[in-house]
Amino acid sequence: MRTIENIKSGRNYTAVSIGDINQIIEHQLPMGSVTIQGKVFIGQAVGTTGSELSFQTLVPGQDSGFLHTHKTHEELYIILRGKGTYQVDGEQFPVSEGTIVRVSPDGRRALKNTGLENLTMLCIQYPANTFTEADSPMTDGNILSDPLVW
């Protein structure tokens, strides 16, 4: 079983490693009486304060195992590798590397690997309906005048 490696942390940051993208399949996530192979949550490890993140790898033919919804969290599914079928509210559509799917809390969702290679995705979940115009990267970001030194 692979574990999250702490790289470095400071007052304003935390850096961890889950390993090479091909090693995500080696992680195990215990969820009550079930253990999900190839899934790792990293929000707690990096100390996120407004979202949760997970990586998951599905082997060919494998699906997420169940439909699910959320009470308050919206999710972004980012397909990093592989091909599959995504299902929301009974509608199905193909997904592949570079596909991004947003699902509201009430969306009944699941993912299946329909390809010949592993399908790896990143899922970001966060409270729905909380991002405002003031949160835009164009207005929230500050470009500093300090010189960039490497």
Encode pLDDT of 10-31 as tens digits.
999 999 999 999 999 999 999 8
Q: What is the CATH number of domain 5-130?
A: 2.60.120.10
Q: Give the whole-angstrom CA distance, residue 32 versus residue 123.
A: 20
Residue range 96-122: average pLDDT? Answer: 98
* Tokens linked to 68: 């699910």
Q: For tokens 């079928």, what's the residue?
A: 85
pTM for this one?
0.91
Q: How far is CA 90 from CA 18, 61, 109, in A?
A: 33, 19, 8
Q: Give the whole-angstrom CA distance, residue 47 versus residue 111.
A: 27
Question: What type of residue sits at position 92?
Answer: Q
For 116-150, write each residue's pLDDT tens digit: 999 999 999 999 999 888 888 888 888 899 999 99
Domains in the chain: boundaries: 5-130
Question: What type of residue sits at position 23?
Answer: Q
For 74-94, write each residue's pLDDT tens digit: 999 999 999 999 999 999 999
